[in-house]
Chains A and B, each alone.
Chain A
């Protein structure tokens, strides 16, 4: 299994990254000018990578699906970014951040990668402050921190409830500086449709210009995928409307392995679904769990009365409320990791204690308001409360918020080695698009950390190890037959979809797929359900190819065509998720198999058999993918059952 060489450097954990940097090959400044790198995506990972590669002297072509890099969906992250600064003197350290992340990921992540992440986390904060990111500060002028799920220290840096926005704008401003210098060629409103492989190496991409509808070719010495996750496979998710998994699927179809597709994170604190026309779900920051208490009525009849509109939550007496997280997990209480909180909410609602439509629980601030005063609560969460009120038309200062879990983040993604290179040489994947650092579950405020770590501090080093032996390779022409062939295939794919001329819109089919995914491949999974999902996904695929309707022209601005191409790839991902979920006969992190739980209903891992990364190789459209395993060796931490009770 030479392809799955993880390339973890030798030596003690704390010295691996230092050793790597000391011995890796670099590219000298004159040669950097002769090397081109394509970066697809402009979020925290892509934007940071494009800017940094530009600063180093490489020629970067950077693509963005929106009209501006500043709109990448990293912008929506609210709560914060973790770093092991230990500014609060509460016992934090690089090792502790590493340990919490490994444990939070339910021992399904690679030790060396996670340690490196914890190591560079401190540099990220320094870098962002230097960029002018207005992090929250104390009156003394020092940076402030808050606590987040899965940690017992306060290590989360934040900028109001808009941390992702501020970090992204920092990366964006660095990127625009390079654009101004001519080092980055920025192309907005472009979507990737294929990766071009020449002599076994990634050498370019086929892009669709979303304004003209034209299919265009771009060549480079290396290709970096930073296109985020595939959470929109559920149709309803906290992801942006344009967030998609297509770039990852294209790499997968061209031979890159897809790792751990089943690891999808369902975020516990989202605004519940209101109706049939709903297009997306809105996240309420995890930071709310710092001061909010989650509960449902203790008595079923109270829950029923609330659902019928006969009782108000404020009328339920304290002793009749079930603060189920505090009850089940006394040590972490409302701050248990996301997978645990989500499952607990689902468990209560499935048992008939849900409020609202029946699929909602309360997040109550009345205690916090009593303890801290309304002004203090407003200062901390004012903008979130305002957002909630605009959407739901309820005042969370007076009546508890209603929340329910929703698809939020995907830990799975393109398999990469320690250098963030995929199984295709010259093809790299960073940020949410890769599988690497979060194992089976991601902790809050770690996505921003990973995206920026990959973009600013990891990829710009590791990519040079690859590019150093490319300096003799002259610039590629996009007239190579490989490019012509890839373009032809892309056009054939588009023409095929346009020619269907059926009756159903893309969205109506996507909703069907989403329902299957949430019902059978969502928070709770079992063998029968997954088998059913595979059958149903196959049916949708047939419907898609026989009854899809795309109005308009193929080679002009066509939003429906964009969505159709993405849905085609989501169907592939849906299948992959179900296959992976079925094969993994254990529960871990975001993957919960109902057959594998403890008597108390907690996730039960099977380390004997499943302590590996499940990597899937594409074997053709109608074939089952082939499984490859990257064994995970825990040399430095003691693997144990996750416990948030004590």
Chain B
């Protein structure tokens, strides 16, 4: 199977799974924006998604996407290190025109995963999983807005998420055009176009996420607005 036993095939898997995850991030960011303007609307979306069969199916696909992307990342990195040989260069210089992120995709990816674990524990565990299996009865799984807002009342959390988003930004700015290059829809003319499109798109996503975190902190952490809570 060429998607596993050829180098280009493996990279195609990385690219397609990566682009799929970008799609998910886009959707997630749009949904979050609702929270800043209307916690009720946000909860309504959560309710629509919740632990329905179609959402669970999509969650499984999403998890598979993450899983494949991460496994392939380690696999490719292992092969690449082996291809480099045993002796390392004594002098290493980053060439001009070479993005820093492109040489550190695995490190950036690992940062993203570590935060992802935190993120899942904070939200997914208490919302979708909770709704499904009632793992934490102190939290109302249907009141996503309360959970999110109370989390971002804490400035430390806001800072952590901004750091995470920065890593994500670096990861995606390279990942986006790199995916286009790998699946072959690139050439001398589109080279810079894809880079610009990727940078703009990535910046919108990351700023979108950061905007929600910061806005919630300002609204509820600094201005002290009442946190709306759903009745049990």
Direct contact of A and B (CB under 8 A): no
Query: B residues bordering A, Cβ < 8 Å?
Result: none
A residues contacting B by CB (< 8 A) are none
